[in-house]
Homo-oligomer: A and B are copies of this chain.
Amino acid sequence: MGNSVGIVRAERASFEEPLAFRSGAVLPRYDLVYETYGKLNSDRSNAILICHALSGHHHVAGVYADAPKSQGWWDNMVGPGKPIDTDRFFVIGMNNLGGCHGSTGPSSIDPETGRPYGSRFPVITVEDWVESQARLADHLGITRFAAVIGGSLGGMQALQWSLAYPDRVRHVLAIASAPRLTAQNIAFNDVARNAILTDPDFHGGDYYQHNVVPTRGLRLARMLGHITYLSDDAMADKFGRELKSGQYNYGYEVEFQIESYLRYQGDKFAGLFDANTYLLMTKALDYFDPANGGDLNSAFAKARADFLVISFTTDWRFSPQRSREIVRPLLHNGRRVSYAEIASAHGHDSFLMEHPHYFDVVRAYLDNVGREVSA
């Protein structure tokens, strides 16, 4: 399925012009960390931006020189000869503003106080991210992306590109995404947030100064998240009612393999990720609604791009129905839309996994995009 992009290195761009957020808050300056794979062509027309989801970051493909197992989170998709082909495209991964992987976020030092931003870091929206991404594009000399691509929350950013900068993006690939959250989606986010917000170690978001981390809350949030990423069937197939020790122990330690899996995932994540970033990401999900509570047909009238929308049959976090809610207003507005509903057992997580039909769809679509741009 193609090769790796090999050894990569993260880069950092500093932006000294203030960025006004949709909330009214202003960030006086910020850094964005990013990686690039492949070569920008002479007319700068072959750039693809990859937008990440809740727990993603800029390290999309390849490995770091000092860490041979540090494959990027979409290394199966991005590389020479892969569906997002770095022999053809100049691919950019970036860590979103508010993140915890190098871009300015709540754990960064606030120049005004000399301490981590913590609770002072403004609530950020998908719209704000796209603004910051546009500035990164300016910085890289990219006027127009061949494509902006994202899964889940990343798909929302890709959609927003087509609305905020209709002339700066030729193709949008929105994978396992939704035009806006449902009440149930918001409800899950709210429980996850409340786990963090009510953790006594949260300290109103300023836990950095207390040398603690709201591990309990972040762990619960991630455990809950994982349930919504997997399909009921995939969980049944993988874990079923299998016991850890082969018998009931009648206590509150791990009994079932599924508990072992969830707690492991929760612990791992809570040790790596910043709780404030988790909160920001879930809020960005909640707030995104290109129609502001109204009609999506009108909202998408601005779009000029062509679209590939992909959903997965067993995804119940953002079900195929949610992708069709993206497709309909695009068709209504005369956009060229391809829609693929991929039969996959792996629920929402499918968008991260290698799957021949899914990968063929992306490859075929981008082959055509590649023909539009010069070598």
Chain A residues in contact with chain B, CB under 8 A? 21-25, 122-123, 180-184, 186-188, 190-191, 193-195, 197-200, 216, 219-220, 223-224, 226-227, 230, 232, 235-236, 238-241, 243, 248, 250-252, 255-256, 258-259, 262-263, 266, 279, 283, 286-287, 289, 293
- The residues of B that contact A23 with a CB separation of less than 8 Å are 248, 250
Determine if B223 and A184 form an interchain contact, defined as CB atoms under 8 angstroms apart: no
Shortest distance between the CB of A146 and any CB in chain B (Å): 33
Does B251 contact A123, Cβ atoms closer than 8 Å? yes
In the complex, the chain B residue whose C-beta lies closest to that of A216 is B198
CB-based contact B184/A227 at 8 Å: yes
- Of B21, B182, B239, the contact of A235 (CB 8 Å cutoff): B182
Q: How far is the CB of A29 from chain B (nearest CB, A)?
A: 20
A98 → chain B, closest Cβ, in Å?
12
Across chains A and B, which 3 residue pairs bring their CB atoms closest together, nearest first?
A23-B250, A183-B235, A123-B250
B256 touches A286 (CB 8 A): yes
Alpha-carbon gap, A21 to B259, bound state (A):
24
A248:B197 contact, CB within 8 angstroms: no
A23, A24, A190: most-surrounded residue (chain B CB, <10 A)? A190
Nearest CB on B from A7, distance (A): 38
CA A240 – CA B181 in complex, angstroms?
9
Max count, chain B CB within 10 A of own CB: residue among A199, A232, A238, A251: A232
Residues of B near A216 (CB, < 8 A) are 198-199
* B235 pairs with A220, CB closer than 8 A: no
Complex contact B227–A191 (CB within 8 A): yes
Is B195's CB under 8 angstroms from A255's CB? no
Bound state CA distance, A122 and B249, in angstroms? Answer: 11
Query: Which of B22, B181, B224, B283 has a CB less than 8 Å from the CB of A241?
Result: B181
The listed residue (B181, B248, B263) touching A287 by CB distance below 8 A is B248
A187-B259 contact, Cβ under 8 Å, with A235-B182, A241-B293:
yes
For the complex formed, measure the closest distance between the CB of A206 and the CB atoms of chain B, giving whole angstroms.
13
- Interface pair A122/B250, CB less than 8 Å apart: yes
A-B CB contact pairs (8 Å), 30 listed:
A21-B250, A23-B248, A23-B250, A25-B250, A182-B236, A182-B240, A183-B235, A183-B236, A183-B238, A183-B240, A183-B256, A186-B256, A186-B258, A186-B259, A187-B235, A187-B258, A190-B263, A191-B220, A191-B223, A191-B262, A193-B252, A194-B220, A194-B223, A194-B266, A195-B195, A197-B252, A198-B220, A199-B216, A220-B220, A248-B287
**CA gap between A262 and B84 in the complex, in Å:** 42
Q: Which residues of B contact A227 (CB under 8 A)?
A: 184, 187-188, 191
Given contacts A181-B241, A186-B256, A200-B200, contact A194 B263 (CB under 8 A): yes
Residue of A180, A181, A187 with most partner-chain B CB within 10 A: A187
Besides A123-B250, A184-B235, A241-B293, 9 more A-B contacts (Cβ < 8 Å) are A122-B250, A183-B238, A186-B241, A191-B220, A191-B223, A197-B252, A241-B289, A250-B287, A252-B283
A183 interface neighbour in B180, B250, B258, B266, Cβ under 8 Å = B258
CB–CB A190/B262 < 8 A: yes
* In-complex Cβ contact of A191 among B182, B186, B224 (8 A): B224
Residue in chain B with minimal CB distance to A223: B191
